[in-house]
Amino acid sequence: MHARSRIAQLVVLLVVVPLSAAHAGRTFVVGPRQGLSQPSAPLVAPSISKIDIALRGALADPMRRDDRHRIAKRGQSGRGFVVVEQSANGSTVFPVFVESRNVAQTLIAIRALGGSVSTTTRSVLVARLAPETVESIAGRNEVVRIEGSYRDSLKMDLSRADIRADQVYAGISLPNAFKGAGVVVGVVDSGIDWTHSDFKNASGQTRILSIWDQTTSGKPPSGYSVGYECTAANINASQCPERDTNTHGTHVAGIAAGNGRSRSGAPLRGIAPEADLIIVKTDLSEANIIAGVDYIFKRAQALGKPAVVNLSLAGHVGPHDGTSSYERTLSDLTGAGKLVAAANSNEGNSRIHMGYNAQGTSYSTGISTLVNAEKELTLIDLWYNSGVVSVGLRANLVVNGQLQKLDELPAISTGQTARRALTDGGTIIGYASIETEARPEGGRHVFVAIDNNETPSIDLSKIVWELYTFGSGRIDGWTTKGVFDALNQPSDGFIGGDTSMTVGMPATANNVIAVGAYVTRPSWVDVDGQTRAYDPPVSIGAISSFSSLGPTRDGRRRPSISAPGQAIVSTLSSTPEENAREYFAQGGSYRIEQGTSQASPHVTGLLALMLQARSSLGVSEALSILQGTARKDGNTGGSANNTFGDGKIDALAAVQAIAGTGTVTPPPGNGAALRLLNGRFEITLAAKDTGRSNKSGNGVPIAEPGNNLFGYFSIPDLTGDAGNPEVFIKVLDVGGGKYWVFYSGLTDLEYTLTVRDTATGKSKAYKKAIGSFCGDADTSFSTFPGGTITVLSVVEKPLLQFSSNAMPLASIHASLSDRLGVAAKAQPAGLNTVSEARVIHPTANCSSALNLFASRFSLTMAAQDPRSGGLGCGLALPKTDIFGYYSIPDLTSNPSNPEVFTKMLDARQFDNGNFWIFVGRLTDFSVALRVDDRQTQKSFLTDPPMPGGNLCGAVYVFKP
């Protein structure tokens, strides 16, 4: 037997167990279903306690199970609960994850009970179980846990992947992993649901160091005069009265630092999942916000930890130039190891700003702007730095298309105050005030307030308010609770409002990192299984229409940077004051939100990772790194601007800029090099079976005759087979001194590829963590390998947004299977199997086949570009009897460019008659394979297909 990669090593484990047990007709008695049919009975049996709660619920409730079964048959979501499937004979089965201390024994037991196992890892089996067998499996001594399968239609990992935070988490191309350990993430917001599992550690203790609730009283923190402070001890004792009924703060905290513990595998973890948390529940007054930031920094400093504070809030009363006391105080609080990120605000499509050069000497020669007031109160804040501007206010009606003045607060200039009730025919229509001041720092400020004095019958919104100015000097103004342009359009003779300078305060403060929002998810599935989408639709990668625009009033660019803000799934408070089920997801522990509120904590989390790498990081340096490593693409434009700032954050590049790309462990022995591009690049591979056997080994290069840009490695030190291909690499010369590197593999071993440029003598390393089949693509450096390294994600064509989720898996499946001339007979979605398929087109479009196992199996491949939707066939390039690869000339126009690799292994003697198919790729196209068994005359289809948008491989299992 050849030991082939990590999966092959598992095989060794399987064959040493006594197979006789599986074949001796051993009968597993299905025990009584303790409590399952009697919901009122306590679920105390140890076996039951091993089953996750949602799965227990599904097992105990046949009606709901049947309902979900119907939903599953329609191909819809399982209502946010566990997935239920229908087997070929019509019975109900649950796809589950079984954690076991002895995978082989559990595998045998599952099969003995009529279940199936599609995938195994060192400690987990992915299985399908009949409902009545779940408890029996749970009762086995070696079984630790059984969890249901959920449809992961909503993932924080979309935005994490977009900013390459997952690579930082895994320590790829870094000296080590960075998860925010030793850093305090502070959140000043609406509070937090401290009972949420994502804010607890593995032992169930809170990760929150303290909570200061400023909205209540009774126990202020030491040194402060208001509020109620809960310590970690209070929280762990469930003695903290704070609740986040708004849910905003809980969501924001989850993005920055949630650890995702609520779900197996933590798919919804935040950016800095190992950071400590300090929470301030604020009443949103600027003074209390400042006190909150002060509190967080002081508490962190007392612990000797760096801190970053998130402010997903903003306002528009103030100069917007960094000179207000609010802005300056906040800036003064920052420093080395003390950073603040803030939402750029959400008025990018609201005309709350007006700006122009004043003119004239009276009303008739001046400039007017119309204002849409809200019913009860509208504030207008006007600022100018030089000249003299007089400001007045008129109340009008529109009569026969003309403005008819009702009343007026005549214009005043700096140093004057005017106020009075405005009337129409003796009836008060509003109370207006204009206050002016000359600020000590030289600026001029005019504050206009219109209110109804809490008189319900006075409706300010029914009046056309006309703000007029005359004089000289550049004037900028913002409305709060209103917009410029009455009647929703600028009219002749009036200066309209605009959306520039809509960045809010405190994002305008000098030492605050202001964050704009862009789209990473256009739709989602809610907790009731309904697919929701934005109307009008939004495009992945585009700026969110609401994301406020810069610059600041003094001309500084805003936002500083942009991050994912639409739509983001994160932690949901368990005490929501509104039941917005369309935004609830994942069984109710998470919810969808959008806003620069959601973008800012992505940066906050990233800053925590950066602070872990360098605790003394200051504002200027942090900002310089964020901006210097930011990604630019077709949406951001090629240069910094007041929409995206310097671009989209790149977590990996930013942390690399501080921590470096890591020290590559020298390969043991004399690792031979693969030479590509006429020997310009020498590539070596070092691999390790980390955490398992911990053995290390060299890669043995296998050059491809006639192919100067591609080669692969076997790892005989670990697999015992020098001819067994494991890791593939391709280096493309794209001209202009630029090179792109793609790598991927058919192994889950940890490995590091070191690419040495013989022309410069410099090297660059790419590290893949153990347990993953995902490769990556480095397409962004301008020169190889010097300069700032900015490694883009798995995008073969830089500047294009990859969009795997824009194309539903079902659609990919249908398109590709049609191309392959087959349709799966059964589609047990979610697990890597090879389903028996029926031939629907006798002559398939994709006919170029790899013929493996002495031509017993014919493998054809179809691919789909996730961006264009274009379909193509694999052109088979056979190598050995078990291995070959495909180019995709239909989509790449290059018949010799290897893109998809496949390897078949005969696992029948130790895996219940199954064959295994490994598929890897150096492309982010979606991929499906058809397998025809010429011996049994059966056809099979990989199910599900490999979705586009990454360079991840997969292992499929099938029984011919």
Interactions with another protein, residue window 407-426 (CB under 8 A): 407-410, 412, 415-421, 423-426
Q: Which is nearer to another protein, 371 or 652 (CB)?
A: 371
What is the closest distance, in whole angstroms, from the C-beta atom of residue 224 to another protein in the complex? 6
Question: Rounded distance, CA 303 to CA 306, Å?
Answer: 9
- For position 287 contacting another protein by CB under 8 A, the verdict is yes
Beta-carbon count within 10 A of 81 CB? 24
Token pair for 938: 């059966």
Task: Name the strand (E) or helix (H) holding 608.
Answer: helix 596-613
**Scanning residues 563 to 582, which ones bind another protein (CB under 8 A)?**
566
Q: How far is the CB of 679 from another protein (least distance, A)?
A: 54
Exactly one of 35, 114, 360, 808 binds another protein (CB under 8 A); which one?
A: 360
Cis peptide before 945 (omega within 30 of 0): no
CB of 377 to another protein, least distance (A): 6
- Window 233 to 262, contacts with another protein (CB under 8 A): 246, 248, 251
Q: Quick one: which of 67, 132, 435, 621 contacts another protein (CB under 8 A)? A: 435
Strands 208-213 and 228-231: antiparallel
Record the tokens describing residue 738, joined without a space. Answer: 């630029």
Residues 174-213: x where in contact with another protein by CB under 8 A, - otherwise, as a string: ---------------xx-----------------------
Buried b (16+ CB within 10 A) or exposed e, 468-479: bbbbeeebbbbb
Residue at token pair 């660059």:
764
- Between CA 520 and CA 566 the distance in angstroms is 6
Which residues touch 907 (CB under 8 Å, ≥6 apart)? 11, 914, 915, 916, 957
| Residue-level length of the chain | 960
Beta carbons of 476 and 501 less than 8 angstroms apart: yes
Which residue, 86 or 575, is less far from another protein as judged by CB? 575
Choices 133-141, 362-370, 779-787, 860-868 (CB under 8 A): range interacting with another protein: 362-370
Binding of another protein at residue 229 (CB under 8 A)?
no
Quick one: 179 or 196, whose CB is closer to another protein? 196
Q: Tell which positions 498-557 bind another protein, by CB under 8 A.
A: 504-505, 544, 546
Contact 97, 149 (CB under 8 A): yes
Long-range contact set of residues 109-112: C-beta below 8 Å, sequence gap at least 24: 109/28, 109/137, 109/140, 110/137, 111/22, 111/912, 112/22, 112/26, 112/27, 112/28
Angle between helices 619-628 and 651-659 (to 10 degrees): 130
CB of 488 to another protein, least distance (A): 8
Q: Where does this chain touch another protein (CB under 8 A) — which range of 41-49, 147-155, 489-497, 631-639? A: 489-497
* Minimum CB distance to another protein smaller for 170 or for 460: 460
In the region spanning residues 381 to 410, those forming contacts with another protein, defined by CB under 8 A, are 397-403, 406-410
**Residue span binding another protein (CB under 8 A) among the ranges 224-232, 773-781, 824-832, 907-915:** 224-232
With respect to another protein, which residue has the nearer C-beta, 325 or 616?
Answer: 325
Which lies closer to another protein via its Cβ, residue 89 or residue 402? 402
Where does this chain touch another protein (CB under 8 A) — which range of 38-46, 444-452, 728-736, 937-945? 444-452
SS3 label, residue 146: strand
> Between 446 and 809, whose beta carbon lies closer to another protein?
446
Site for another protein in 266-285 (CB under 8 A): 283-285
Task: Order across the sheet with 727-735: list the strands.
Answer: 700-703, 710-714, 727-735, 738-745, 776-778
Q: Does residue number 368 form part of the binding site for another protein (CB under 8 A)?
A: yes
Place of tokens 């925010």: 180
744 binds another protein (CB under 8 A): no
Q: For the window 447-486, what string marks contact with another protein as x by the rule CB under 8 A? A: x-x-xxxxx-xxx--x-x---------------x------
Is the CB of 52 or the CB of 347 nearer to another protein?
347
Q: Which residues inside 119-138 make contact with another protein, applying CB under 8 A? A: none
Nearest distance in Å: CB 285, another protein: 4
Identity at 339, one-letter amino acid code: L
Cis peptide before 551 (omega within 30 of 0): yes
Minimum separation from the CB atom of position 258 to another protein (A): 17
Question: Binding to another protein by residue 365, rule CB under 8 A?
Answer: yes
Nearer to another protein, 602 or 730 (CB): 602
Neighbours of 927 (CB within 10 A): 28
Rounded distance between C-alpha atoms, residue 938 and residue 886, angstroms: 23
Draw the binding track, 291-330, toward another protein (x: CB under 8 A; -: no contact).
x--x-----------------xxxx-xx-----xxx-xx-
Interface segment toward another protein; rule CB under 8 A; list 438-446, 675-683, 866-874, 950-958: 438-446
Contacts of another protein in 915-934 (CB under 8 A): none
DSSP 495: P
Distance in Å, CB of 346 to another protein, minimum: 5
Nearer to another protein, 175 or 220 (CB): 220
Rounded to the nearest 10 degrees, the angle between the axes of helix 651-659 and helix 596-613 is: 20
829 token code pair:
């979605």
Q: Is 596 in the site for another protein (CB under 8 A)?
A: yes
Q: Where would I find the beta strands (DSSP E) of 105-245?
A: 116-120, 124-129, 143-148, 184-189, 208-213, 228-231
φ and ψ at residue 598, rounded to 5 degrees: -85, -25
Judged by beta carbon, residue 470 or residue 728, the one nearer another protein is 470
Least Cβ distance, residue 366 to another protein (angstroms): 7
How many angstroms separate the CA atoms of 585 and 588, rounded? 5
The one among 45, 109, 192, 367 contacting another protein by CB under 8 A: 367
Nearer to another protein, 345 or 779 (CB): 345
- For another protein, the binding residue among 288, 552, 696, 864 (CB under 8 A) is 288
Reference 249, options 277, 286, 221; nearest CA is 277
Q: Which of residues 638-677 bind another protein (CB under 8 A)?
A: none
Q: Which is nearer to another protein, 44 or 302 (CB)?
A: 302
Angle at 697 between CA 703 and CA 665, to 5 degrees: 100
114 lies in the site for another protein, by CB under 8 A: no
Q: Which is nearer to another protein, 67 or 283 (CB)?
A: 283
Q: Which of residues 837-866 bind another protein (CB under 8 A)?
A: none
Which residue from 60, 255, 290, 619 is in contact with another protein, where contact means CB under 8 A? 290
From the number of C-beta atoms within 10 Å of its C-beta (0-12, 13-18, 19+), residue 548 rates as buried
Q: Which is nearer to another protein, 87 or 523 (CB)?
A: 523
| Residues contacting residue 190 through CB under 8 Å, at least 6 positions apart | 244, 245, 246, 247, 248, 249, 250, 281, 282
CB of 569 to another protein, least distance (A): 13
Is 491 among the residues that bind another protein (CB under 8 A)? yes
Q: Please count the residues of this chain forming the interface with another protein, following the rule CB under 8 A.
A: 113
Among 445, 695, 738, 959, binds another protein (CB under 8 A): 445
Beta carbon of residue 288, minimum distance to another protein (angstroms, whole number): 7
Smallest gap from residue 579 Cβ to another protein (A): 16
CA gap 486, 662 in Å, rounded: 58
Burial 886-904 (b: 16+ CB within 10 A, else e): bbbbbbbeeeebbbbbbbb
